[in-house]
């Protein structure tokens, strides 16, 4: 799928993976709207890539509505939506009600709200692309963080539902599922950095490149760490063995005093 002159929105594009995605697509000729809660970052990245800054909270109903309206006003139409914004908040059973609610809002409902506004128009015209940054945690799990694990599983599940419901109408849905990526989120996951980097922590640019390649074949899962496909298959075909292996990792972290 060439993106030259296509209208693209990237949420959470002020830093990390979102910034790399916006930069890569702009370099390929896309007209990119850069969204981020950090207004200064959105303006900075938009200036760097020749994009259009649209700061705001893309998770709330009001915020995503304003973003879609602003993007359509600038682009004319939105051809590709990349819902990249996400949070990792709350540890173990001590995660608060607020942690659970915020994780669900940003990691799940942001995509639901965007799809409500975008998909009907795409179905009518017969084309559109909805991409979510879901994380390998959405296929496997995340030791220590139930809020992140559950919300990212839900993110993948919603993307699957969109794909199976609308693919025959011309709507392509894809889920980016990397493991460790050198971003602020990985920096903040100090006790788990070694585990998340087991198959090498990639750069945001590596993820952007994998996503760019995936835009050409429309495959649902975008796996910057190819090993994730093997882990996912093992999880499905021998669940108890997989859970036992994950529990072994949990115990190792507890023995090291680094469990979250």
Options 52, 148, 166, 231, the catalytic residue = 148
- CA 46 – CA 200 distance, rounded (Å): 30
Degrees to nearest 5, angle at CA 48 with 42 and 51 = 65
- CA 151 – CA 111 distance, rounded (Å): 11
Tokens of 62: 């009001």
- CA 189 – CA 183 distance, rounded (Å): 10
3-state secondary structure 117-145: HHHHHHHHHCCEEEEEECCHHHCCCCCCC
Report the helix count and the strand count for the chain, using DSSP H and E.
11, 7
- CA 65 – CA 221 distance, rounded (Å): 27
DSSP secondary-structure letter at 62? H
Q: Sheet containing 31-34: give its strands across.
A: 52-53, 31-34, 7-10, 80-83, 128-133, 171-176, 221-222
Indicate if 148 belongs to the active site.
yes
3-state secondary structure of 222: strand
3-state secondary structure of 34: strand
Catalytic residue annotation: 148
């Amino acid at each position: 799928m060439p993106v030259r002159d296509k209208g693209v929105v990237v949420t959470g594009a002020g830093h990390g993976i979102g910034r790399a995605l916006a930069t890569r697509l702009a370099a390929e000729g896309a007209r990119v709207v850069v969204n981020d809660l950090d207004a200064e970052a959105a303006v900075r990245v938009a200036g760097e890539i020749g994009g259009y800054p649209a700061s705001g909270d893309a998770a709330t109903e009001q915020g995503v509505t304003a973003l879609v309206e602003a993007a359509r006003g600038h682009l004319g139409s939105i051809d590709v939506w990349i819902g990249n914004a996400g949070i990792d908040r709350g540890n173990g059973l001590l995660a608060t009600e607020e942690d659970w609610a915020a994780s669900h809002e940003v990691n799940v409902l942001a995509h639901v709200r965007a799809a409500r506004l975008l998909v009907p128009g795409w179905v009518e015209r017969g084309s559109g692309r909805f991409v979510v940054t879901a994380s390998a945690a959405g296929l496997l799990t995340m030791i220590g963080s139930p809020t992140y694990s559950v919300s990212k599983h839900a993110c993948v599940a919603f993307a699957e539902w969109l794909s199976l419901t609308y693919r025959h109408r011309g709507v392509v849905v894809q889920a980016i599922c990397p493991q460790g990526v050198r971003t602020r989120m990985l920096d903040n996951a100090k006790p788990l950095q070694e585990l998340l980097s087991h198959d090498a922590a990639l750069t945001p640019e590596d993820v952007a490149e994998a996503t760019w390649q995936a835009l050409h074949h429309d495959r649902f899962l975008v796996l910057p760490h190819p090993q994730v496909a093997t882990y996912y298959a093992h999880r499905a075909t021998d669940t108890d063995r997989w859970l036992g292996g994950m529990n072994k990792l949990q115990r190792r972290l507890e023995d090291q005093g680094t469990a979250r």
